[in-house]
Amino acid sequence: MTSIYLLAVSASFFLNFIFIIPFIDFLYKLRFQRAEQKTKDLFNKPTPIFDKFNHHKKGTPVGGGILVVATTTIVFFLFIFLYWFFRQKILTNYPSIASEIKIILFAFISFGLLGLIDDLNKIFLWRKNGFFGLRFRHKAILEAILSLIISFWLFQDLKISFINIPFFGVFNLGYFYILFSTAIIMAFANAVNISDGLDGLASGILTFSLIGFWVVSRSILDVPTSLFIAAWLGGLLAFLYFNIWPARIIMGDTGALSFGATFAVIGLILGKAFALPIMGGVFVVEAGSSLIQILGKKFLKRKIFTVSPFHLYLQNKGWEEPKIVMRLWLVSIIFVIFGLMIAFMK
């Protein structure tokens, strides 16, 4: 049955590869491109170092996530239909196949729509025009609402309330699992968004991490999650071809928020909450460096690092962008290998 998943990867890859160049041209026509603007941090302070290393990306089309979300959803439904048409049993570890599919796709699409609003705000400067601009606190509230809905479904529909910590055992969190998974989903949605600052960085790391989770999903014979990962991987590989330095298209918040939240949801569905931050270790480092910097400014009234997140710190130290990306890819592979070891521990 492995061939069906490889076929899903191939179908998704070629579908994206065929449409991505016309899609890039379409984004140019819409002027859906990265705007040149002076960025500010959460404390409304200028970020000259960030602007220095990102001004050359002005004009690059933003919206790669839109295409990948659309094609992944289409390919996933197509292969689910083929399973049904050829009367193949769809194996799952949960009471309801429909609920598992609903949760994955809701995370994938809803966070994508939230990211799309944020992309439109940044590109067309809605906030300055007083039109539907999302401030950070507004976006955080919407992320929390979406994450709570997903977490409730994980708990209520899929009956997930346990976490397995290797060497310590299995713990039933009860209703606290809803808050736990909400925090995890929000954290990874923003972690991938923070990491999407260099060409090919977030998409490459996510590709390696998803391959790790695909191995886990195949080991427990979970067809819906395995098929979804396969369809998603094909789209990511095609996108990565055009996203590596110098990028012809950028993922945007549409992709970053959608991909980060869904990555977390897959880890939770597979019952690998403890392995999740290890599989996505580079994302954790990126988000962690930003969080430490924010807390330092908030409570100590000073910076902890010269600049954050971690990839920007390396840039400021003189590392070239492709060098940073390639080396963090290698670090990510090590994280995934270690994460797989943790995932298969009893």
**Residue 1's pLDDT is what?**
67
Helix 252-269 and helix 223-243: axis angle, to 10°?
150
Q: How confident is the model at residue 51 (pLDDT cuts 50, 70, 90)?
A: confident
Q: Residue 339: which residues within 8 A CB-CB, separation 6 or more?
A: 209, 212, 275, 276, 278, 279, 281
Most confident of 107-121, 122-136, 295-309: 107-121
Residue 135, pLDDT score? 67
Within the chain, where are the H helices? Answer: 2-30, 48-54, 64-85, 97-124, 136-156, 176-195, 201-219, 223-243, 252-269, 276-279, 281-295, 310-316, 321-343
Among 25-39, 54-68, 81-95, 174-188, name the one with the lowest average pLDDT.
25-39
- Ramachandran region, residue 142 (left: φ > 0; alpha: ψ -120 to 50; beta: rest): alpha
Q: Please name which of 27, 42, 37 lies closest in space to residue 57, comparing C-alpha atoms.
A: 37
Structure confidence by residue, pLDDT tens digits, 292-307: 999 998 888 889 998 9
The pLDDT of residue 25 is above 80: yes
C-beta of residue 249 within 8 angstroms of C-beta of residue 24: yes
**Average pLDDT along the chain:** 91
Amino acid at 198: L
Rg (CA), the chain: 20
* pLDDT bracket for residue 131 (50, 70, 90): very low
Q: What average pLDDT does the segment 307-331 reach?
A: 96
* pLDDT at residue 238 tops 60: yes
Q: Is 333 exposed, middle or buried (0-12, 13-18, 19+ CB in 10 A)?
A: middle
Whether pLDDT at 56 is above 90: no
pLDDT on residue 121: 84
pLDDT in tens, 172-226: 999 999 999 999 999 999 999 999 999 999 999 999 999 999 999 999 989 999 9
pLDDT higher at 49 or 322:
322
pTM: 0.94
